[in-house]
Amino acid sequence: MTAEVQRMSLHDLLLEYRKARKDLISLYNRTADKEDRSLISEMISDCEFVEQWLESGRMPGSRRGIDRRSVHQRTKVWDPSWMEQLITRPAGPDRELTEEERFKLNDAMCNLSERERQCFVLHVAFRFSMRQIAEELDLKKRTVQTNIERAKQKIEENKLSSLFLVG
């Protein structure tokens, strides 16, 4: 390539394809040979395809582009039994939680959303930093912090209102 070649913007490229399509339509109308008309028709279709792609930024005919699917692709599925694994772990190096303590823990955390529960448990029980949790759950650090604060607030409210957590 030489320095004489100019860089084209997407808009310029789109205009070039539109011009080429118009020229091909004109050529198609003047051509009588069936094989030539078939070839020119395919070229017109290709130009229309590229024009649609350049206009929308997506593959024509695609209902949902990859940019809209990425949220679902980033979503990590959590097994609901992960809380059970946490509860059955030893509370300390020399003792396990009693059945009553497990019940109280479940009762205290019953009003937490799934995301709040995940953030809270990873932070408090597994001692993950907020940055580690953010990376694991693909969230911003501030979002993790907000979820942990909400979880603590809800747990405190549950402790005050639950008959099982009094005393």
Q: Which of 127, 110, 120 is nearest to 146 (CA)?
A: 120
Average pLDDT for the chain? 78
Phi, psi of 96 (to 5 degrees): -105, 160
Are 106 and 87 in contact by the 8 Å Cβ rule? The answer is yes
Q: For residue 131, give Cα distances in angstroms to 52, 76, 128, 146, 151.
A: 42, 17, 8, 13, 17
Distance of CA 165 to the CA centre of its chain: 38
Q: For residue 107, give Cα distances in angstroms to 69, 90, 110, 113, 157.
A: 36, 19, 5, 13, 11
Query: pLDDT grade, residue 166 (50/70/90)?
Result: low
Which of 48-52, 97-101, 163-167 bottoms out in mean pLDDT, i.e. has the lowest?
163-167
**This prediction's pTM:** 0.43
3-state SS of the chain: helix, strand, coil percent to 5? 65, 0, 35
Query: pLDDT grade, residue 2 (50/70/90)?
Result: very low
pLDDT one-digit tens code per residue, 32-88: 999 999 999 999 999 999 988 888 777 777 665 555 555 555 555 555 565 565 554
User: What is residue 28's three-state secondary structure?
Assistant: helix
